[in-house]
Amino acid sequence: MDNKEIKAAARTIKKRLKEKHLWIETRSRGEDVHILVGKRDGAGNKVHIVIDGKTAEIRVEDNQTAPEELIKSIESTLTLNDGRVVRFSRELLELKKRPWEDDVAGFSAHIVQIGGFGSRVVTKTAWLLTEHGYLNADKFISVGFTSGGDMIVGATRGFMIVSLNSPSGNTIGDAGMPHSCVLFLEDKLKNEIVITCKSTD
């Protein structure tokens, strides 16, 4: 083995997975990925698949076990810049749709603290700005409390607060704006805040 082969071998990264009747191994060499699949019978026969890192071509090495003996199908995925995933094989080309909530451009939310000062009981509701539809509030709003007992309300990552008000007449601290604010709680049944948020993308 010459120096070039030694360096290439040193750059090989191997991972092996053992199942009941099969073993599966991946080897990353430079830009290419080699996938080896064999039976756990000691015979040494295996399927050898190569994914070319430059062309994205998937090829099967001819001098090995025929792939149909061990493998039902070969699939690949592409991840687009917007996060969507395209899955494809010889039989299939499929675009995996992102959850519709991932495309929300803006929303409003109503957060209510119940029980007055000292209580941690909170309800929150969020809805779209462009059409009538409710959102999973936990995905878009974070709620916490300061050491002094006041309520911190924030927009989750990717959104900023553009307007806010308190239907219950509480004072609102804006030190964390545009990402969060503090609702100063009072000793009354409900302390409320309504925020409107827009995407930062």
- The pLDDT tens digits for 109-157 are 999 999 988 899 999 999 999 878 899 999 999 999 998 899 999 999 8
Domains along the chain with CATH numbers: 3-73 (no CATH), 102-199 (2.60.40)
Q: Say how far apart CA 129 and CA 125 lie, in whole Å.
A: 13
Q: Which of 2-6, 35-39, 86-90 shows the lowest per-residue confidence on average (mean pLDDT)?
A: 2-6
Which of 152, 145, 144, 153 minimizes the C-alpha distance to 109? 153
Model pLDDT for residues 6-63, shown as the tens digit of each residue: 444 445 555 666 666 777 787 777 777 787 777 777 776 777 878 777 776 777 766 6
Q: How far is the C-alpha of 170 from the C-alpha of 154, rounded, in Å?
A: 17
Is the pLDDT at 75 greater than 50? The verdict is: yes
The tokens of 68 are what?
């149909």
- Global pTM? 0.53
